[in-house]
Every structure is written in C-alpha cells, then in structure tokens.
Structure 1
C-alpha cells in the first residue's frame, strides 16, 4: 500500500515539474532582463544605476503587476476551455486580453512620460536622479506594449502545455539581451539610454518569437483575429481588472516591505 502511494506521488510530482520547471525558467528569464539591464548600467556610474534602479524596481514593477494581472485573468477561462475541448476559445480569450492590456498600456504611458516630476515631487528623489530616471523611463515606453502582448500569449501557450517552447524562447532572448548590452552599453558606450533601447529590442524579440510560433505552430486554438473577441467584453474586463488589482496589491505590499 505504502509503495503504491509513493509511486503515485512520484508520478504526480514528475508531471507537476514537467510543467512547473519550464514555467519557472520562463519567469526567471523574463525577470532577469531587467536584472541584466541594471547590472550593465551599474558599470556606467552610480548616478545612472540609481536612475535605472528606481525605474526598474518601482515604475516597471508597478506596470508589470497590472499587466500580469490583466494577462492572467484569461488563465482560468483558458483552463475551462481546454477541459471543455473548446480550443478555439483560447484564441478569443487571448485577443480579449490583448485589447484590455493594450488599453492598460495606454493608460500607464503618462506615468512613464511624467516619471521625472513623479519621482522628484512625490517620492522625494534628488532632482538629478529624477531627471535621468525620467529620460530612461520615456525610452522604456515601448516595453509597456510588449508586456501587453506578451502575458496573454504566455497564458495562451501555457494552457496548451507548450511550456518548454516558452522556456526556450525566454532563455534565448535573455542570452541575446546580455549580448546586446555588452555591445551597445559596455563596448559602444551608448549609456543608460542605450540600455533602455536594448531592453525594448529584447522584449520585441520575445513577442515576435511567440507570435511566429503561435501562427506557424499548427494550433487549432488560433484561427486568426475574430470579432468574437468583443463579445462578453465587459464581463471579461471586470474579471481582468479584479485580477490586476490583486496583483498590484501584492506588489504594493512587497514595495512597502522593501522601502519601509
């Protein structure tokens, strides 16, 4: 009896890690994009590191909390669609999530544009740091829209157990990100603005790679863009916003803990 239970436990544990392992690699790789940026900017100087850190650790995390929450709202619905064998709904849910995420990115854009006075006036940062952070944030605006496309696609692929593909794409992009930072920031000396642009390029590559795989990966769940994405949109938006608020509250708790 005990041996049989252990075998079942081992079998279930193996299945869990077959999903969880690649998912962890994906999350760590994508999180490390900002970490690598900070590491290369840190070699430029303390002022540049301070400016980049406040953008990456406060502003970007704030945006990521909302974006991840919006993108994750389709996760439950996608699981239900897979269980009901209505795979075509996965593409519909992803498109709805795209629409809402892009709208969220548009709403967050002014915060990036006005980052300098926000950091200086509201957070009490030094004027020199705030001004440089504001310039860095403006150049990072494209990443908001790549976040908006990335997270819904990520949930779309995860719902169909294409986790190793996600892990491979994310790891490859992280490697390219390191290389681009080494070339443009360390060797060519494009500075903190160069680091921001490299981040934009890396997230762009991540999104493009997933789109190419989704379109050419023989998915029954992707049949192209559909007007069905607009149906039942208010209910989907309500679910997504609730998820976004929960994610943001988790970020806020972590932020207060780190900076208290």
Structure 2
C-alpha cells in the first residue's frame, strides 16, 4: 500500500524532474555543438550563477512545502492558498535581491579567478538571458510545492512534457536550422521555463484546486515574518547543497586546461543530475520538490508517526535500488554518453576518466536527497543546514583543495574531497533520522499547523515559528 502511494505521486514527480532538468541539458547539448568556449561560458553561468539563484528560491519554497504539507494533513485546506501567496511575496523579494549577480557576471567571474577573458565576456552576455528564468522560479517552485501537498502533480508533469518538446524543437530550429547561435538557444530556454508556469497558474486559479484556492487575500501580507524565517532556513539548507557543486566548478576553473576540465565536469554533473532527479522525485510530489517530505508532512500533520517512519523505510529502499542499477550502468559505459554533449575527443576522454567518481556520486545521490526530504517534511531545515555546513565546507572542500592542488590530482582530487563531504553528511543524517522521536515530531507538527497566528485575520500575540530538529522543543 505504501509503495502504491509512493509511485502514484513519485512517478509523475520523477518525470517532471527529468523534463525540467532536461531543459538545461538540451540547451547545453545544442550550445556544445556551437563551440567549446560557448559551452564553457554556458556551463559557468548555468552551474554557478543560475544554480546559486535556484538554490535560494527552491530552498525558500521548501519552507512553503513544510507548511502546506502539514496543513493538508491536518485538513486545514483554506490555509494552502494563503501559504502559496505568501510564498510568492517572499520569493519575489529574494529574486530582486539576486539580480546584481547576473548583471555583473563578468566582473564576478574575473574576481573569482577566471583567466580566460573570452569565456568571461561571453558568460556576461549570456547571464542577462537568465534573468527571466530566475523570475520563472517564483511561480514554478511555489506552485509545485502547493500542488504536491495535495498530490495533484500530474498537471505539472503534462506541462513539463509539453515544454520540453517545444524546447527541443525550437532549439533545433533556431540553432541548427536558422543558425541563430546563442541567441536562438537562450530564447528557446526562456520559453521552456515560462510555458509550464502559465499552465500552472491557470490550473490553480481557474478551478483546479477548489478546496485550497479561494482567491487572492490580504491575509497573504500578514504574519510574513515567521514564514520568511522558515523559508530562509530552508533556503540555507538547500543552498549549501546546491552550491557544493558550484564550488567544484569554480575550483576547476582555476586549473590547467580549464576549458576541457570545465566542459568534462559540467557533462558529468549533468549526468549525475539526471539520476538526482529520480531521488528528488521520491522526495518530491511534483524542483524543485520532495515526495517523501510530503508523505512525512502529511502523516505528521494527521498524527500518524508509524506511517511516517514506514514511508521513510520504503522510499529509501526503493531509491537505493534504482541508484545501484545506475551505478553499475555508468561504470560500464563510462565516457560514451559524453558524445551527446560534445564532439571534442579531449573532453570525452576526461569524462571517461572521471566516470568512476560519477558512478559513486550517483550511488550517494540515491540516499542523501531522500534523507533531506525527511528534514523538509519534519521542519528540521536549520538543523540540516548546520550539518551541510560542517560536512561540505569544513570537511569536503578543504580535502578537495588539498588533493586537487597540493597533491596535484586536479579535478579528480577536488571531486574526491567533495564525495567525502557528501558521505559524511549522509551518515550524520542517517543517525539523526534513526534517533528521532517521531511521536514528539507529531506533536510539533500539530502545534505548527494549529497556531492561530498563521491562520486567522486577527492573530494572537505572535510567537516565532521556529525550525525544529529531532529532540528539540516545538514552537
């Protein structure tokens, strides 16, 4: 029964993740056939700057996911629409604050050590095309969190499939047939991100969610501070994960033969990203997000701690099984898939050399995101943020720098250090999950969703909505 519940939501969620992630991969594939410098510039902006913004906005949307999931489990349906509107407000403010990094991409890259002037200048021009994509995340992530809490993610899957098909056709038409180059690829990219958003907004506001959407309300502007705090904690938790790969790209950009190394590494990270979408699909119920966190949030909100624990065991087992199959697959096929992204033999050779590390990354990706989903569903975002900070940046990055630069292992050494950080984080999350008192988490969740300050026009004197970790007192 639990597997049926899992696949009913996770299957369309996985498909949605694949198609959404595939939008960037398709653009990268077409740009890679335009030229290697163009591919390196796109990889820098996409992996460093867009993922930076994506991490913040997706992470902040995870705070909405916790609130919507637990409110739906507690049958407080009217609050989901209010939470969605609050999510729009918080994300819009964050998006405006992110604009300078896309406007000043060139100087930022040079300050970070990018020596190739041509790549930096090309990245600066390309970054301006990513600004409308950043604003697309406001609608995309918040609507997905809102819909996944209600297990209504099939509409998102349909829209994502349509957008991917259009993107593939337009990319070929504008870059290969009519030779518009980078401009053609980026126009198609922007449209691919915004087409699903229009469909999601129409679905939500035009009768697709009659129980939870009752129209726009001034309540959305009340009690924003507690929601903002939870969103910031969620953002910090996820950003520390997303930026981890960004650090890997930045460190690689300062090495010898950086153009080939960045191209090869970006291909490996994209392949790893495809597998990560499966785990995120199990965590999600429709980005940027988590199936398991919805199951946990729903069960905690409804007071069922045993079901929450069983959901964790079932989902982890399924995700690991799929991850192991893909682990073996990429060990066997090594660098052959790289030809989808490039025609450079040097890049393909480097990808083949990095394939064992890619395979181990895929195996870890089948466990770590699912455990993070437990944190999102339970509201432990701030606890996991500290875990990520320690394991990634106090352990993984320093080891990677020593192996890559001191022992001259180059990108391979940096990646090994990063994998060690992910392994440490995974072990800590396993320990936290196993030692959690789930009956206490039920009590915490029910206090959160029943707080009058979040649900009434005339709130009682506010007590802050705080993130809670295992064993800590509730708000």
TM-score, normalisation: structure 1: 0.92
Query: How far apart are the structure 1 equivalents of 2:196 and 2:153?
Result: 14
Partner Cα distance (2:63, 2:41) in 1: 32
Match of 1:4 in 2: none
- Which residue number in structure 2 is paired with residue 36 of structure 1? 26
Per the alignment, residue 234 of structure 1 pairs with: 225
Change (3 A) 1:86 1:52: same
Q: Does 1:96 align with 2:86?
A: yes
RMSD: 1.4
Structure with larger RCO (C-alpha < 8 A, sep 6+): 1
Output the CA distance in 1 between the equivalents of 2:112 and 2:248: 18
Report Cα offsets for 1:219-249 as digits up to 9, x if no partner: 2211221110111100100000010011111
Task: Map 1:44-83 to 2 at 5 A.
Answer: 44-83=34-73
Tell me, in whole angstroms, the C-alpha distance in 1 between the residues paired with 2:154 and 2:211.
Answer: 19
- Paired position in structure 2 for 1:8: none
- 1:153 Cα deviation (Å)? 0.3
Superposition deviation, residue 257 in structure 1: 4.8
How far 1:176 moved relative to its partner?
1.0
Secondary structure (helix, strand or coil) at the match of 1:85 reads coil
Any stretches of 5+ residues in structure 2 without a counterpart? 253-413, 415-475
Residues 16-54 of structure 1: CA deviation (Å, up to 9, x unaligned): 111111111111211111111000111111121111111
Whether 2:255 is the aligned partner of 1:255: answer no
Aligned 8 A contact 1:140 1:197 in 2: no
Which runs of structure 2 are paired with 1:147-226 in the superposition (5 Å)?
A: 147-216=137-206, 217-226=208-217
Match among 107, 110, 116 for residue 100 of structure 2: 110
C-alpha contact (below 8 Å) 2:55/2:242 kept by paired residues: yes
- 1: distance between equivalents of 2:113 and 2:77? 47
Paired residues of 2:109 and 2:120 also in contact (CA < 8 A): yes
Mapped contact 1:52–1:192 kept (Cα < 8 A): no
Matches of 2:69 and 2:205, distance apart in 1: 21
TM-score, normalized by length of structure 2? Answer: 0.51
Divergent runs of 4+, >4 A: none
Whole-angstrom CA distance in 1 between matches of 2:113 and 2:150 = 43
Partner of 1:22: 12
Displacement of 1:150 = 0.8
Indicate if the aligned counterparts of 2:175 and 2:182 stay in contact, CA closer than 8 A.
Answer: yes
What CA distance in whole angstroms lies between the structure 2 residues aligned with 1:85 and 1:74? 16
Distance 2:177 2:23 in 1: 19
Q: CA deviation at 1:178?
A: 0.6
Q: Which structure's residues are more often helix, by fraction?
A: 1
CA change 1:177–1:231 in 2 (3 A) is: same
Offset at residue 252 of structure 1 (A): 2.5
| Distance of 1:123 and 1:93 partners within structure 2 | 41
Relative to structure 1, the CA distance from residue 184 to residue 223 in structure 2 (aligned partners, 3 Å threshold; closer, same or farther) is same
Distance 2:26 2:110 in 1: 26
- CA distance in 2 between counterparts of 1:224 and 1:98 reads 14
Q: Quote the Cα distance in structure 2 between the aligned partners of 1:254 and 1:47.
A: 20
Specify whether residues 158 and 194 from structure 1 end up closer, same or farther in structure 2 by C-alpha distance, changes over 3 A only.
Answer: same
Q: Which structure's CA Rg is the greater one?
A: 2
Q: Tell me, which stretches of 5 or more residues in structure 1 are unaligned?
A: 1-10
